Amino acid sequence: MGGDVVSQGPEDWTPRQYDVHHRTTYTYEGPVESCFERGFLAPRETPSQRVLSNEVVISPDPQVMTEHVDHFGNHSFYVEIQTAHNELIVEKRSRFEVHWPQPDLAALDRWTVASAAAELLESAEAVERVGHLLPSPLVQPAPEVVDYCRSVIGPDMPLGEAILALTRGIYRDFAYKSGVTTVRTTLPELLELRQGVCQDFAHLAIGCLRSLGLPTRYVSGYLETQPPPGQVKLAGADASHAWASVMVPGGGWVDLDPTNDHLADSRYVVTAWGRDFRDVSPLKGVVFAEAAGASTLNVAVDVTRV
């Protein structure tokens, strides 16, 4: 997500509809003979949103495009293009009905972090609990992560209070700055840099909560943003966003966004979720070419309230 300031008020929990237009363009210096891509081209239904429509246009036309539902319930597409091309465009337009309930953090304070972890061990569905609790490629239980976590929250803290403290702590301790991290940045490197983007902060929140025994997943989607006062919102200026979602007793999840220092509300649109970014990369693949040369990537996103 970009650097627009995002505040939160009671009106942000009210129902609304959104149109999301996401256009990804790869441009190559030389011709690409074929490419094979996998990505999440259709959003998922969730308790907080209903997908009203979704349209995908790919240029050049793919010879093969198949869809399956992955282990996490996301709609995963495989695309195969055997036509020579210098440019690949993947465009999707979706309309959503969104209504997030406001979490009752005070009610969660009946548990401590430790007692919540113990209850989930007994009551949560085993595969889902373990799948979001064990280390994943981009979220490893490094000592630096555990040390940072314990400096902000601990096992004896009330659960709701801990979720809020971690959200605010990461927002306070790290600066939002694009270009200093990559999709391969580790959590110890992030803790050394003390700056990054939403993907990094989501991974850190996940690492902290998992280290305390709370299953936590990585959520990929979009966030409606507003330009600074007096400025016009530019077309294509929005971006994909990422945040964390922690399992709580009672069968629910609480979504926290440390990038913006608040919980997910009705401005948040979900595309997919998994253990970390690698499970939900919007588009990834391989190309075959004799001399494709350098490539450039351009992503334009618009999140428009209907």
Confidence of residue 44 (pLDDT cuts 50, 70, 90): very high
What are the angstrom distances between the C-alpha of 213 and each of 72, 139, 187, 264? 20, 14, 18, 22
Average pLDDT over residues 33-54: 96
C-alpha neighbours within 13 Å on the C-beta side of residue 298:
9
CA distance 152 to 122: 27
High-pLDDT (> 70) share of the chain, %: 95
DSSP 251-267: TEEEEEETTTTEE--TT
Query: Does residue 136 surpass a pLDDT of 80?
Result: yes
69: closest CA among 37, 97, 41, 35?
Answer: 41
Give which of 168, 171, 139, 166 is closest to 153, Cα–Cα.
166
Q: Is 141 helix (H, G, I), strand (E, B) or coil?
A: coil
What angle in degrees, to the nearest 10, is found between the helix axes of 143-152 and 159-173? Answer: 110
Helices (H), 174-222: 187-193, 198-211
At a CB cut-off of 8 Å and minimum separation 6, what does 294 contact? 28, 29
For residues 4 and 72, is the Cβ–Cβ distance under 8 A?
no
pLDDT band of residue 227 (cuts 50, 70, 90) is: confident
The per-residue pLDDT for range 141-171, each reduced to its tens digit, is: 999 999 999 999 999 999 999 999 999 999 9
- Give me the pLDDT at residue 239, please: 81
Q: Write the pLDDT tens digit of every residue in 263-306.
A: 999 999 999 999 999 999 999 999 998 865 788 999 999 999 99
pLDDT in tens, 4-26: 456 788 999 999 999 999 999 99
pTM beyond cutoff 0.85: yes
Whether 1 has a pLDDT exceeding 70, the answer reads: no
> What 3-state DSSP class applies to 44?
coil
Q: Domains in the chain, please, with CATH?
A: 10-98+284-305 (2.60.40.2250), 105-279 (3.10.620.30)
